[in-house]
Amino acid sequence: MASCSATKFVPDGSYLLDEVKITTDNKSVKPSTLQPYVRQNPNSKWFNTVKTQLYVYNLSGRDSSKWMNRFMRKIGDAPVIYNEQESDRSLQEITKAVQNMGYMGANVKQTNTYKKKKIKVNYEIETGNPYIVSDINYDIKDSKIAEYLVADSAASYLNNGMLFDINVLDAERQRVTDNLQRKGYYKFNKEYISYTADTIKGTNEVNLTFHLLPYEQNKDKEDKLHPQYRINKVGFITEYDVLQSSSLSSIDINDSINYKGIPIYFKDKLYLKPQLLVDNLRIQPGELYDERDVQRMYNYFGRLNALKYTNIRFFETQVNDSVTELNCYIMLTKSKHKSITFEVDGTNSAGDLGAAASVSFQHRNLFKGSETFMIKLRGAYEAITGLQGDYNSNNYTELGAETNINFPNFLFPFLSSDFKKRIRATTEFGLQYNYQLRPEFSRTVASASWSYKWTHRQRVQHRFDLLDIGYLYLPWISEKFKKDYIDKGQNHIFEYNYENRLIARMGYSYHFNSAGNNLSSNTTNPNSYSIRINIESAGNILYAISKAAKIRKNKNGEYTILSIPYAQYMKGDFDFAQNIRIDDRNSIAYHFGAGIAVPYGNARTIPFEKQYFAGGANSVRGWSVRELGPGSFPGDGNLLNQSGDIRLGASVEYRSKLFWKLQGALFIDAGNIWTIREYENQPGGEFKFNTFYKQIALAYGLGIRFDLNFFILRFDGGMKALNPAYSWGRDRWPLIHPNFKRDFAFHFAVGYPF
């Protein structure tokens, strides 16, 4: 008990900082917004509950020469000893922060509570009445800037009746600065803006004056108007070394060309097409300087894989005695254009061990237009166990090849070049081939795709699959496999998915991330959220052609193209995820998702790879992958039967930083899948409005994550809480009657579940 005491290493006469609390008498002033001003915080808690790391530290002995004691102290946290000076600083900072919000008469009182060798600190805030801006005046001697501000006054953060909030005043300084930098004021910054505030005696009213300081204000030089710059010359330097000086004289160039009036300087040989460079240019000679154009160019040139870095530099040049303009140079640093990658993987498919290897070649500037070309060859082998019956072998072999080429611009015939430049999309063409040889069958999958991708304001990603054609060909199927699974006429999924099939689809996906610049994940940004929407359809054009041409159906009642039946369906998905920061160590993340896939026309069911499944590391984690549903169907050992056409899912995670690179999570998952129709081999799987809510599975669990910065290793253990396979009784509620062997599922994955 003594060795685990929280105050074991607290010196006599000192106190362990046990808790810091902020309370306020004004609902408009939230304690959470003032927490960053606290200069000394207590030891961190796991899941905001237990100071585990402090106890780990206290488990160490006092002899620091022993390695075990040093190790326990390294992974633990030393006790935070109360520091009166830091506490006084916190009091001052909190008082200043509240006053800056407009409560100039605010009073902050500190109350300490002692218990043995522990101390709890409470900062009690009495805000008083706020100060209100009653009148706003403008002191602007530059008539041109005054005109700009009047034209933009509707967007101003300043208005009569507002709180005298210093943060809002500073935000207005930045807004005006951004606006002027878009109108030629290259050297303008917010330090040229100041305020004067006069309080009216006996009231809480403030007269506010907005001052625009002159460009130069010192004893030696007279005040000047702020210079408004136009662009004089624009040029490209394609051989810029970021380790060298940005001075033009130090850059190693020996040749140049002129394209549409824009000079392009290079050394020995130009590695990019001049048209590509000029098409991504947003700044033109004679135009006013606009900071937005500079940022757009950084974005545009950042998309070019042939470039490693982009630097945009401006140099003042004297055009005549009274006019100074800017010369702009876009300095480009070349990337390595060719690379070869080798990969070796170990595989484990339900206990069957195997290995895979691949080699890929990539060229990032194939036609000197920053086109990215990739070709990849892959092979895999797996020893299959558990097969019963007369199969010729127990081996699985896979051979595959894929290639794609990505163009950094929008490509489509019959469109003008100006329209293509406005779209700012990338175009990708791809081909894939995959051959699989299993004891049960051999299968060939070939596909071709044509798609577009583009980003809007760093927060939104769009993808449009104009055409994606896939062909599934099964040249051979084992007679035993046919007899056991296909010829019985009970499994619609087997029958449909083990026939030659053509899938011609179109699709659109939308991804919004409020954090921006990090569209891959919202989990690394506090208080961010993301929305994903995906819509796709297949077979509609082929079906219309078949009907118009009056093509005869095959024996299964399907239209065919070159004797190959094609799939027809509509599919839509929606996902929402949000991460809410509690403090610097704890956050809550939640997710909701729904989807539906509807076969119609030329199809009886959805292709297997387009169907939904439940359970696994990114679903309801009390079930292993593909073990849940559809509906109340308990499963029959055949994973193909545990797929569906409708999905609903939701998850909540409480995430907490533990120590070192370890993070912990407590989670609750809910969801299931359903079929649109009732099938004989999936009893209880059909979605019905009066019963589906009774078939939503629940699970809970604990997760451990290793945050290695560039990726996250995740280990989750989930327990069933409500099992929809049972309509009543003990088995329906594993939460009340748990059985670890029956109800536990372990998951290993890379990355967060949402």
Containing 151, the helix (H) or strand (E) segment is helix 143-151
Q: Could you give the CA distance from residue 130 to residue 32 in angstroms, rounded to a whole number?
A: 20
Q: What is the pLDDT of residues 254-294, one digit of tens each?
A: 789 999 999 999 988 999 999 999 999 999 999 999 999 99
> Could you tell me which of 340, 269, 266, 338 has the C-alpha nearest to residue 306?
338
**Which pLDDT value is given to residue 523?**
41
> Of the candidates 399, 397, 383, 240, which has an alpha carbon nearest to the alpha carbon of residue 311?
240
Contacts of 166 (CB under 8 A, 6+ apart): 100, 101, 102
Q: Please give the C-alpha separations between residue 650 and each of 225, 482, 667, 753, in angstroms, as whole numbers.
A: 59, 38, 11, 11
Question: For residue 292, how far is the Cα from the chain centroid?
Answer: 24
Q: How far apart are CA 430 and CA 579, in angstroms?
A: 35
- Residue 607 has a CB neighbour count (10 Å cut-off) of 20
Q: Token pair for residue 497?
A: 């998915």
- Residue 69, token pair as written in the block: 């004691």
Per-residue pLDDT tens digits for 704-722 = 999 888 789 999 999 999 9
Residue 4 confidence (pLDDT) above 60: no
* The residue count for the chain: 754
Q: According to the model, what pLDDT value does residue 348 have?
A: 67
Buried b (16+ CB within 10 A) or exposed e, 278-296: ebbbbbeeeeebbbebbee
Please count the other Cβ atoms lying within 10 Å of the Cβ belonging to residue 739: 12
Half-sphere exposure of 334 (CA within 13 A, CB side): 15
Residue with tokens 């046990």: 18
Of the candidates 298, 188, 278, the residue with the CA atom closest to the CA atom of residue 234: 278
* pLDDT value of position 202: 81
Q: Which residues contact 704 (CB under 8 A, 6 or more apart)?
A: 662, 663, 664, 665, 714, 715, 716
User: Residue 60: its pLDDT value, please?
Assistant: 86
- What's the CA gap between 578 and 531, in Å, rounded? 9
What is the DSSP code (8-state) at residue 684? Answer: T
Give the closest residue to 194 by CA, choosing from 133, 140, 131.
Answer: 140
Average pLDDT over residues 300-309: 94
Alpha helix stretches (DSSP H) within 76-137: 84-100
Rounded to whole angstroms, how far apart are CA atoms 272 and 368? 5
Confidence at 246, pLDDT banded by 50, 70, 90: low
Specify the pLDDT at position 69: 86
Q: 293 CB contacts (<8 Å, ≥6 apart)?
A: 282, 283
pTM of structure: 0.85
Q: With both helix axes pointing from N to C terminus, report the angle between 166-181 and 143-151 in degrees, rounded to the nearest 10.
A: 110
CA distances to 47, 85, 300, 713 from 455, in Å: 37, 50, 10, 29
Question: What pLDDT is recorded for position 422?
Answer: 79
> Which structure tokens are listed for 100?
């800056």
523-543 pLDDT, tens digit each = 445 678 999 999 999 999 999
pLDDT band, very low/low/confident/very high, at 517 (cuts 50, 70, 90):
low
* Single-letter amino acid code for the residue at 15: Y
User: Is-contact 200 206, C-beta < 8 A?
Assistant: yes
Task: Check pLDDT > 60 for residue 206.
Answer: yes
Burial class (CB in 10 A: 0-12, 13-18, 19+), 202: exposed
pLDDT of residue 346: 80
Cβ-proximal residues to 49 (8 Å cutoff; 6+ apart), any chain? none
| φ, ψ dihedrals at 168, nearest 5° | -70, -40
pLDDT band at residue 499 under the 50/70/90 scheme = confident
Q: What is the pLDDT of residue 396?
A: 87
Query: In terms of Cα–Cα distance, which of 710, 715, 739, 716 is closest to 726?
Result: 739
> What DSSP state is assigned to residue 226?
P
Strands (E), 130-204: 132-139, 193-199
Instruction: Please tell me the distance from the alpha carbon of residue 654 to that of residue 660, in angstroms, as a whole number.
Output: 19
At 496 the three-state DSSP class reads helix
Distance between CA 301 and CA 318 in Å, rounded?
A: 29
Least confident of 139-153, 245-259, 551-565: 245-259
> If pLDDT is split at 50, 70 and 90, which confidence band does 585 have?
confident
Q: What is the pLDDT of residue 498?
A: 81
How far, in Å, CA of 517 to CA of 458, rounded? 5
**Token pair of 463 as six digits:** 């993808």
Distances (CA, A) of 198 to 84, 165, 313: 36, 14, 43
Beta-bridge mates of residue 580:
588
Phi and psi dihedrals of 352, rounded to 5? -90, 120
pLDDT bin (cut points 50, 70, 90) of residue 395 is confident
What is the model's pLDDT at position 720?
97
Q: What distance in Å separates the CA atoms of residue 113 and residue 18, rounded to the nearest whole number?
A: 10
Can you tell me the mean pLDDT for 96-120? 94
Whole-number Å distance between alpha carbons of 98 and 94? 6
**Which letter, b or e, does each residue of 530-540 get, where b requires 16 or more Cβ atoms within 10 Å of its Cβ?**
bbbebebbbbb
Higher pLDDT, 497 or 316: 316
Instruction: Domains for the chain: give ranges and CATH numbers.
Output: 132-212 (3.10.20.310), 231-334 (3.10.20.310), 347-426 (no CATH)
Residue 1: predicted pLDDT: 35
Helices (H), 511-562: 540-549
3-class DSSP state of 659: coil
Measured in whole angstroms, the distance separating CA 372 from the mean position of its chain's CA atoms is 23
Residue 200 CB: number of other CB atoms within 10 A?
12
54-60 mean pLDDT: 88
- pLDDT tens for each residue of 619-668: 999 999 889 989 999 988 777 788 999 999 999 999 998 877 889 999 99
Taking the C-alpha atoms of residue 284 and residue 300, their distance in angstroms, rounded to an integer, is: 16
Arithmetic mean of pLDDT, 132-151: 94
pLDDT bracket for residue 492 (50, 70, 90): low
pLDDT at 249: 64
Question: What pLDDT score does 49 carry?
Answer: 84
Residue range 457-475: mean pLDDT, rounded? 92
Q: Which residues are CB-contacts of 400 (< 8 A; sequence separation ≥ 6)?
A: 377, 378, 379, 432, 433, 434, 435
Token pair of 186 as six digits: 């290259």
For residue 743, give the amino acid letter: D
* Separation of alpha carbons 723 and 623, rounded Å: 10
What does the pLDDT average to over 411-417? 84
505 is written with which tokens?
């689809």
Number of other CB atoms surrounding residue 634 within 10 Å: 15
In whole angstroms, what is the distance from residue 143 CA to residue 215 CA? 14
How far is it, in rounded angstroms, from Cα 97 to Cα 102? 9
Largest CA distance in the chain: 100
Q: Got the DSSP string for 564-632?
A: EEB--EEEEEEEEEEEEESSSSEEEEEEEEEEEEEE-TT-SS--GGGSB-B-STTS-TTS-TT-B-STT
Q: For position 609, what pLDDT does the model report?
A: 85
Question: For all residues of the chain together, what is the average pLDDT?
Answer: 89
Average pLDDT value for residue range 5-31 = 91
106 confidence band (pLDDT: 50, 70, 90): very high
Amino acid at 148: Y
Residue 85 CB coordination number (10 Å): 9
- Write down the pLDDT at residue 351: 62
Q: What mean pLDDT comes out for the span 358-387?
A: 92
Rounded to an integer, what distance in angstroms lies between the CA atom of residue 556 and that of residue 554?
A: 5
Q: Report the distance separating Cα 68 and Cα 50, nearest Å.
A: 23
